[in-house]
Structure 1
Amino acid sequence: MGTLFLSEIKKQACSFLQEKYKSARLILTDVTEAELLAEEATNGEPRSPDAKTMTRISEAAFDIDDYWRITDVLHQRLYTNDWKQWRSTYKALVLLDFLLTHGPETVADEFRPDIIVIQELSKFKHIDERGFNWGAAMQKKSERILKLLKQEELLQEERANALKISKEIQGFGNVCISSTSSSSRISRTSFG
């Protein structure tokens, strides 16, 4: 019980310090929130970046300054030669995949020169202590990105599908309440 309590306090203190560090970086350096999000989404921690964070990054990428900062973070992660930091590289591939389908169209042009590096990543091999084959996951993600970068028609199709799904999600469950003098009506709008 005591160990669990100390562990929780340690976790909260660590989270608090990380937030203060991020705030200080935003204030004292020229780093942007989008750049911090990209760094956080591609850090070496075990969990993958969540859809909400990747959506915020892809929206920020439409701003030219944030675009260059985000792509710079991704380039740094993809060119990491330390395989002990493989999670950062894998998470950069996850974010790049998302940006190709949800971000500015120029992302594909930006990363086409990196095709050779992405091909090399498809050769990565690593099985963790629980038996999960991260090499296969990296290979699958690399191959998908290579297809998107090489096949313009497929990329446009995937972008259209992503846009359609995003509109459906945004439209799902929107509730409009309209009042009249005699009664209130609720009408549901769905799928954009």
Structure 2
Amino acid sequence: MTTSSIRRQMKNIVNNYSEAEIKVREATSNDPWGPSSSLMTEIADLTYNVVAFSEIMSMVWKRLNDHGKNWRHVYKALTLLDYLIKTGSERVAQQCRENIFAIQTLKDFQYVDRDGKDQGVNVREKAKQLVALLKDEERLKAERAQALKTKERMAQVATGMGSNQITFGRGSSQPNLSTSYSEQEYGKAGGSPASYHGSPEASLCPQHRTGPLRAQSEEPPLSQRPPFLLRPGPPSCPASDPAQPCLSWDPAAQ
């Protein structure tokens, strides 16, 4: 966290700023980067609240009255205003038209930093663009309509992603992983993990089975079952290495 961020947070506490005012202060800070679109969207949504609207606009006008080394406050406030006029409540544009003189004066904003760079040019250019937009009602309507379409499209994308997650594996556009894994691991016949644990004869290779497999209900009692013996499997046994023992019935032991 930067020193300026800490100082800004302290001021927020001391001055008991509201949530809306804090968001505007963050969006129009002196940090050397612009306000995020997500933060400006939050502020735009708050303009539809009567109380928050008053707090937002009051803080924006306060930032626009800054000067000198705080030129970023002014430039970011103009950037935020441009966004709010297009995506926020219509009252934002209405209030800006009523106070357009305050924005027009910024077309003459001057500030040269210690390195001799004219930082005021950014403010002057942004003020000109904003004044032109406010004076062109048809263009403003078109800009607001386009912004609304973009917002609705983004909302649909977000909703679609959420619904795909909820209906995952139930006819959604996402693959049904449970079915996929079932077919790969247990076969398409609907096998289950339990099918891997059958009778001893079921685990033997075909050449070492003594006869057709019997159902579990037909297995003889333990006292009548022949003993299991281990003996090397024949070379032709496809299921075992000749050097390894192969499980089978030994007729001599019966």
Q: Calculate the TM-score normalised by the size of structure 1.
A: 0.74
What is the aligned partner in structure 1 of residue 70 from structure 2?
A: 85
Larger RCO, structure (CA 8 Å, separation 6 or more): 1
Percent sequence identity over matched residues? 32
Partner amino acid, structure 2, of 1:111 = C
Equivalent of 2:99, from 114, 123, 134?
Answer: 114
Equivalent residue of 2:34, what SS?
A: coil
Aligned residue runs from structure 1 range 28-67, under 5 A = 29=16, 31-67=17-53
Segment drifting more, 120-129 vs 149-158: 120-129
Cα distance in 1 between the residues matched to 2:85 and 2:75:
15
Q: Which has the higher helix share?
A: 1
Task: Provide the C-alpha distance between the structure 1 equivalents of 2:58 and 2:90, rounded to a whole number of angstroms.
Answer: 16
- The equivalent of 1:123 in structure 2 is 108
Distance 1:172 1:141 in 2: 32
Aligned equivalent of 1:70, options 56, 59, 63: 56
2:29 is matched by which residue type in structure 1?
N
Residue identity in the other structure for 1:121: L
Give, in whole Å, the separation in 2 of the partners of 1:18 and 1:90.
Answer: 20
Equivalent residue letter for 1:147: A
CA contact (8 A) 1:99 1:107 kept: yes
Q: Does the aligned pair in 2 maintain the 1:22–1:36 contact within 8 Å?
A: no
Per-residue deviation at 1:141? 1.7
Residues 114, 87 of structure 1: alpha-carbon distance in 2 compared, 3 angstrom cutoff = same
Which runs of 5 or more residues in structure 2 are unaligned? 175-254
CA distance in 2, matches of 1:127, 1:20: 28
User: Displacement of 1:129 after TM fit?
Assistant: 7.5
Larger Rg belongs to: 2
Residue 143 of structure 1: how far off its partner (Å): 1.8
- Distance change (3 Å), C-alpha of 1:18 and 1:127: closer
SS at 1:172 equivalent? helix
Partner of 2:205: none
Give the structure-2-normalised TM-score.
Answer: 0.57
